[in-house]
A and B are shown apart, each in its own frame.
Chain A
Amino acid sequence: MRTDFGLLLKRFAFSFWFILALVSVGVIVTLILQPESVPDGALRTGGTILMVAAFATFALNFFTTELQPQLGQYILSLLFLFLAGVVLLFFPRQGLVLPNFEGDITPSLVTLSLFFIVAIGSGWVGFLLVKESPALNSQAAVKYFTALSVLVPLAVLAFFIAYTVSEGSAVISWRFISQRSDLLRGTVGIYPAIMGTFWLIIGATLFAVPIGVGAAVFLTEYARRKWIKQLVGITADCLWSTPSIVFGLFGYIFLVPRITGHSTLLAGQIILAAMLLPLTIATSTEALMSVPDEFRSGSLALGSSKWWTIRTVVLPSAIPSIVTGVLLGIGRIAGETAPIMLIAVMSHTSAPNFFSLEAPYFHIGPLFREIDALPYRLYSIYKAGVGGSIQEAWGTAMVLIALVLLFYGLGITVRSYFRRKRGW
């Protein structure tokens, strides 16, 4: 009796979902083909309906636990939630629909919070249900839910990149990345910012990596006492979690007066190196510790010295992981705006130029001059209205992402090269 009723409900819920699915696919296709033809209001209403539906279905399932929900249904509903979120939050071309915190609670705030509540709640309830459900293979359930967790970051990343590219690609051109902005000549370009960020990263890496790897070698291969390792570990953690603006402030008050008294590339490199250092130490320590001890004893038993062992066996085996760690750090510092704002950058400076074709071919002068940097550039275009249009900001963002990806690509190459040699 009860089961029949439940089955009915389920059939109903499922067909409801099915129709909604068709409708929303239609809406999204229309949106992609003819964005202007769909009014924002309709979108928001549609999105809200989708969510309410999702919520209702979940509530239904929640109160009828005996019904043994279908895994596919949950995955489907989560997918719908995701679609609803996309429709609600991102498609209106006028910009984001954000809550107005000054006034009353606006409808958009309601939908927004509803979205997150539903998303989190439904995920949780769904997981519980599937986990408890005897009908389902719980191994499979875990597999699907973990697979879902892979999809989310992938989707977020893909979305970020797609959005940035779609907004920014309009302004990207060879001129844009090879020229500097000049009001008098009417050119628009971010070449100085690219080179500034490039040299910041190079400098910070050159400062941080030798010190960080050196510290890690000492900690893992030489230090006997546990408290030294713990002390350094805690210090590194503290440094890593220190807000970046504090680094900037420190650089501004302590470093800048001791270098030239004004913003310099060098100050930026040093401060970013200080930010990069803790992660380098942590990942290098981890990497060195994971090198099997058999390698060490094998090498020492052949009569080699400790340093030879470290240099020829331990470090090469650890390099892939060290590189990965450093890259994560670079990813972070490349986009830092707060610290360099105080100590290194100035709008509309020219690119640092270390090399020349005449003697002495290499100059250290640029180290002591201001630079421009991509994240700062982005900030100033968007917030302070310096420079050009919003499109330019997206273009800059795109270049910044590309630059970070370039470093990642380099790192992955190095890593796979050593992995191929390693293979344990």
Chain B
Amino acid sequence: MDIKQSDKFESGYSDEVAIEINGLDVYYGEEQAIQNISLDVLRKKVTALIGPSGCGKSTLLRAINRMNDLIDGARVEGEIKVDGQPVYSRDVQVSKLRQKVGQVFQKPNPFPKSIYDNIAFGPRAYRHQLMKSSKQLANMVPNFFKRDGERSPIDGRPMDEVVRDSLEQAALLEEVEDKMHESAMDLSGGQQQRLCIARCLATKPEIILMDEPTSSLDPISAGRIEDLIDDLSRDYTVLIVTHNMQQAARISDYTALLWLGELIEYGETERLFEQPDKELTERYITGRVG
């Protein structure tokens, strides 16, 4: 399958598209960080964003789950659709969006809570949202006094199961099985990052955004995360920012090169690395610029 930047998919195709970006501009105050980017991210594939520092990779990522809203002066123009739903329309519930589009950060950022509470955090926050928006009695009963009975409001499964499953999927369960209720801050950096991935999986996302998830880790931990991403791509759409060309080549199905806020080239990773269309791409991936 060959895709081209700014090419719209035909309607039959859109099932394959998880994120649809059209003519996106992002400004920080006066400064424009993203210039007219159009790009379709395919479902259950790993898409890598590469490009030199400051080219707007993180900005693009944050535009998708609206984390840019938190930055004073950040302004987004153009259109982003997740599952065909415009992200920046008025009736979008940002919390629902972020539950659906999870994010893993560059620096592992577990909360200063137990491992269990870290994983259960997302579902619990979701319950809080439900309590606010629905009048259903069942949702309004907090079940904190019987931990065994606690259920994830997202899929109704017991919380213990959700926690174990998420840790399992993040390939962390074995290591933390018998210290679930100890502080997550005592884990190693690599474990913390996998915990953050597990935490994100617990909210049953469809899309996972990762901003240089391995750059603060040692090679072995980074390797484990890479394997993990590979596993995840069976069930999830992964959009990952990386500075590491080998990593992009190893783990991604599609790659997009950003340059000074513009999308230079986007296509299947293999093709892009072997026969890039643009000269700039070739120069960048062979390390002659940037």
Q: List the interface of chain A (C-beta within 8 A of B).
A: 224, 292, 294-305, 308, 312-313, 316-317, 420-424
Contacts and interface: CB of A to CB of B under 8 A. Distances in A.
A299 B199 CA distance: 10
14 contacts: A224-B72, A296-B70, A301-B102, A301-B103, A302-B99, A302-B102, A302-B121, A303-B95, A303-B122, A304-B121, A305-B129, A308-B128, A312-B121, A421-B183
Interface string B118-131: 00011011101100
Contacts of A301: 65, 67, 98, 102-103, 105, 200
Contact of A302 (B107, B112, B185, B200): B200
**Among B109, B112, B114, B128: residue with most chain A CB under 10 A:** B112
Contacts of B250: none
B72 A313 contact: no
Contacts of B112: 295, 316-317, 421-424
Nearest to B117: A312
Interface string B186-212: 100000000010011001000000000
A334 B161 CA distance: 51
B283 interface: no
Across the A-B interface, the 4 shortest Cβ-Cβ residue pairs: A304-B125, A303-B99, A294-B109, A303-B98
Contacts, number: 87
Interface in B85-144: 94-99, 102-103, 105, 107, 109-114, 121-122, 124-126, 128-129, 132
Interface of B: 65, 67, 70, 72, 94-99, 102-103, 105, 107, 109-114, 121-122, 124-126, 128-129, 132, 183, 185-186, 196, 199-200, 203
Contacts of A316: 112-113
A312 B142 CA distance: 15
B125 A299 contact: yes
Nearest to A292: B109
A79 B72 CA distance: 56
- What secondary structure prevails in chain B residues at the interface with A? helix
A316 B196 CA distance: 19
Given A303-B98, A424-B185, A298 B111 contact: yes
Given A302-B199, A312-B125, 19 more contacts: A294-B107, A295-B109, A299-B111, A299-B121, A302-B200, A303-B95, A303-B96, A303-B97, A303-B98, A304-B122, A304-B126, A304-B129, A305-B95, A305-B125, A308-B128, A308-B129, A317-B112, A421-B112, A423-B185
A303 to B, nearest CB: 4
B113 A298 contact: no
Contacts of A422: 112, 183, 185
A423 B185 CA distance: 6
A224 B99 CA distance: 26
A298 B99 CA distance: 12
A423 B72 contact: no
A298 B124 CA distance: 14
A46 B97 CA distance: 80
A9 B227 CA distance: 75
Given A297-B109, A302-B98, A303-B129, A423 B186 contact: yes
A303 B203 contact: yes
A305 B128 contact: yes
A421 B203 contact: no
Contacts of A302: 98-99, 102, 121-122, 125, 199-200, 203
B111 A313 contact: yes
A314 to B, nearest CB: 10
A311 to B, nearest CB: 9
B121 to A, nearest CB: 6
B190 to A, nearest CB: 17
